[in-house]
Amino acid sequence: QKEVEQDPGPLSVPEGAIVSLNCTYSNSAFQYFMWYRQYSRKGPELLMYTYSSGNKEDGRFTAQVDKSSKYISLFIRDSQPSDSATYLCAMGGNNRLAFGKGNQVVVIP
């Protein structure tokens, strides 16, 4: 079993829809969780960072962590064409850091 599993997609949604992305992980030592966004031909940029189980909101973005199920999610409300990108989950703990493979999202105008 891979340490971090993320469905690569692609995921196509109409403008205004909610985008739902998720990752699962196997290492219970992971304590903090991140989501990155990567536009084509650019380096990934950090979107969300959280330590605890539950929800964290930032504008149209909500990160959700369920440590008991080893499952994290990212929701994008009112999606815009500019949200079209690849989204990577990442998680760390005990000085380790692991990334998902990335999920390509396309928001159709």
Partner 1 sequence: GAVVSQHPSWVICKSGTSVKIECRSLDFQATTMFWYRQFPKQSLMLMATSNEGSKATYEQGVEKDKFLINHASLTLSTLTVTSAHPEDSSFYICSARDGTGRNTEAFFGQGTRLTVV
Interface with partner 1 (CB under 8 A): 8, 31-32, 34, 36, 41-46, 49, 86, 88, 90, 92-95, 97, 99-102, 104
The distance of closest approach from Cβ of residue 34 to partner 1 in the complex, given in angstroms and rounded to an integer, is: 5
Residue 97 or residue 108: which is nearer to partner 1 going by CB?
97
The distance of closest approach from Cβ of residue 81 to partner 1 in the complex, given in angstroms and rounded to an integer, is: 18
Alpha-carbon gap, residue 60 to 99, rounded angstroms? 23
Residue 51 or residue 80: which is nearer to partner 1 going by CB?
51
Phi, psi (deg, nearest 5) at residue 18:
-90, 130
User: How do strand 103-108 and strand 54-58 relate by DSSP bridges?
Assistant: unpaired
The distance of closest approach from Cβ of residue 47 to partner 1 in the complex, given in angstroms and rounded to an integer, is: 10
Cα Rg, the chain, nearest whole Å: 13
Of 105, 61, 59, 109, which Cα lies nearest the Cα of 83?
105
The distance of closest approach from Cβ of residue 49 to partner 1 in the complex, given in angstroms and rounded to an integer, is: 5
